[in-house]
Amino acid sequence: MEKELVFEVLAEGGSLRIERNYTGENNGFDYFPNHNETDFTESGLDVNESNVFDNFYEPFEIINSKYPWYNLHLSFVDEDFREYVADELVEKLNEKSIFKLPKKELLEEKLNSEFKIIEKPEIGGLQNISVKSLIKVTEHEYQEFYDDYAKDIGQKFKLKGSYEMWTEEQPYILRNMEVINDKNSFEFIGNIEVSGNTIILKDENKQISFVLPSDKYFVSAEPAFVIREWSVFMRY
């Protein structure tokens, strides 16, 4: 019975393929890794037509573990194994920290998928922390006098009320306003902990560096370090 092609990589002077042969309803398929002409690695792939497997995964693992097949011309992958091959490729790229994929478009076409490099924060990692003290501003509201006595003594306005507010930015116009404290800002690398109404900033050695009241400071943070890794999205 003629063998059916399920995986093939082409290179100058040779090819690398996995074929299968249907052995019956009870036995399923036999899988045959095969390469010709070109020795795909310094030590060779050590696969030939005499190797027979009862699944696709073992012969593919031989190929995947010994040679960067993804840098060659991927010619064909059977649709039953495209998702598996794509997942194994992503695992290998991330394991070896490979971020250049010259044949990316071809791989996406043959595997019916999309490969992307995703950046995500390092779990439990340090953070770039920005600390800004909130500014207490008291605004005074006045109303105009209309009675004759006030006009006679030259008093045009009287205090109607005062209002306090906390703001991140100092007002540019301080008319009828009183700034109670000065702005204080700084940057810090470490980690944040919150205990009740207290913000605790710890350095990279987990030692306490700052203890701040949460109602007096605005604190923002972003990961100091991110992890870059490949992800694959199948096109169904």
Residues 155-206 pLDDT 10s: 655 555 555 655 655 544 444 444 444 557 888 999 999 999 999 999 988 8
Which pLDDT belongs to residue 176?
Answer: 41
In SS3 terms, the chain reads as CCCEEEEEEEECCEEEEEEEEEEECCCEEEEEEEEECCCCCCCCCCCCCCCCECCCHHHHHHHHHHCCHHHCEEEEECCCCHHHHHHHHHHHHHHCCCCCCCCHHHHHHHHCEEEEEEEEECCCCCEEEEEEECEEEEEEEEEECCCHHHHHCCCCEEEEEEEEEEECCCCCCCCCEEECCCCCEEEEEEEEEEECCEEEEECCCCCEEEEEECCCEEEEEEECCEEEEEEEEECC
- pTM value is 0.63
* Model confidence pLDDT, tens digit, residues 66-125: 889 999 999 999 999 999 999 999 999 999 999 999 999 999 999 999 999 998 887 778
